[in-house]
Structure 1
Amino acid sequence: MRDVLSPAVLSEAESLELLASVPSGRLLYTARAMPSVVPARHALLGRVLVVVVDGDSQDAEVVRAVPGAVVAYEVEGAESDGQVSWYAVAVGLARFVHAATRPPLAAPALDAAPSCVRLEVRIDVLCARGRRTARGCGI
């Protein structure tokens, strides 16, 4: 039996399950050798993470930096009792998909949010990891 107060390393399957359980997170990438983070919405379809970045001033940077790069996508949350928190990270190769040429998504929530500019990134997940920890216990 594991100590519930100790941080627990999650399996890849648990990490992917947590990624699928929330609608938004953060896309992490490098631009001009500097780390960058942008908030995004997502859906996990098998081992492909579909990430939608709504347009803003970072558009040009994301468009230049992300295609073909290894990127990370992170989500976090808490169990229903609020005493246990968790995070999960997927790492993979990113590519852009033009929304006009892609097949319809099995994730209508990604199409539902209005935005004048949408950048859609598909990440072929190479690995996923995460941790779960009790409130007050450092990760």
Structure 2
Amino acid sequence: MDDRRLLRELPRDEALRLLAEARMGRVVFTQRALPAIRPVNHAFVDGHLIIRTNLGSALASAVGGPGSVVAYEADAIDADTRTGWSVVVTGMARLVPDPVEKSRYEGLVEPWIDNSADCVLRIHPDIVNGYRLVAAGETMPAGPVAA
């Protein structure tokens, strides 16, 4: 049996579809000039990642004001078969100040942790990198052909 695995790059639309299906990931931001990572749940709405956090959190502080460049990673890897996928997006994160828009997003993302998630962050995925981990010799699943 061949146990080798290959990384196959995913087209942007496929990577974003997988990200939209995921419910949890990790947001990478800058805290005191160093990278920091937090696990968060999310929704993918209107082409943006939406997450909720506490206004006093390090993440909200890092993104406050004009916004901040962040990275976001989500994946689904099966440790037994050593197959799955990973998607990383990089883009500008900003607080959502509009109360109507904020209320809409609050209804779509219920935080998994027990704290007051009183602010909503929107991340625009400027750079999208997606990969599927497949068995050597396996072809990628057929998908729609981009025009």
- Asked whether the two chains share a fold, i.e. TM above 0.5, the reply is yes
CA contact (8 A) 2:69 2:93 kept: yes
Compute the displacement of 1:23 (Å).
0.6
Whole-angstrom CA distance in 2 between matches of 1:83 and 1:116 = 35
1:91 counterpart residue number: 90
1:124 is displaced (CA, Å) by 1.5
TM-score by length of 1: 0.75
Matching residue of 1:20: 20
Task: Give me the whole-angstrom Cα distance separating, in 1, the residues matched to 2:19 and 2:8.
Answer: 17
Cα RMSD, aligned residues only: 3.0
Q: Which moved more, 1:14-23 or 1:95-104?
A: 95-104
1:135/1:59 CA distance change after superposition, 3 Å: farther
Asked whether the equivalents of residues 49 and 123 of structure 1 are also in contact (C-alpha less than 8 Å), the reply is yes
Gaps of 5+ in 1: none
Query: Are 2:73 and 1:77 equivalent residues in the alignment?
Result: no
List structure 1 segments (4+ residues) > 3 angstroms apart after TM superposition: 98-101, 111-116
Q: Which residue does the alignment assign to 1:110?
A: 109
**1:20/1:29 CA distance change after superposition, 3 Å:** same
Size of the aligned set, in residue pairs, is 128
- Residues 20-99 of structure 1: matches in 2 within 5 Å? 20-53=20-53, 55=54, 59-67=56-64, 68-78=67-77, 82-97=81-96
Question: Aligned partners of 2:39 and 2:72: how far apart in 1?
Answer: 10
Give structure 2 stretches of 5+ with no counterpart: 137-147
Task: Letter of the 1:87 partner, please give it.
Answer: S
Q: Are the structure 2 counterparts of residues 133 and 114 from structure 1 closer, same or farther at C-alpha, using a change threshold of 3 Å? A: closer
8 A contact 2:5–2:82 mirrored in 1: no
1:92 to partner: Cα distance: 1.0
* Separation in structure 1 between the aligned mates of residue 81 and residue 107 of structure 2, nearest angstrom: 29
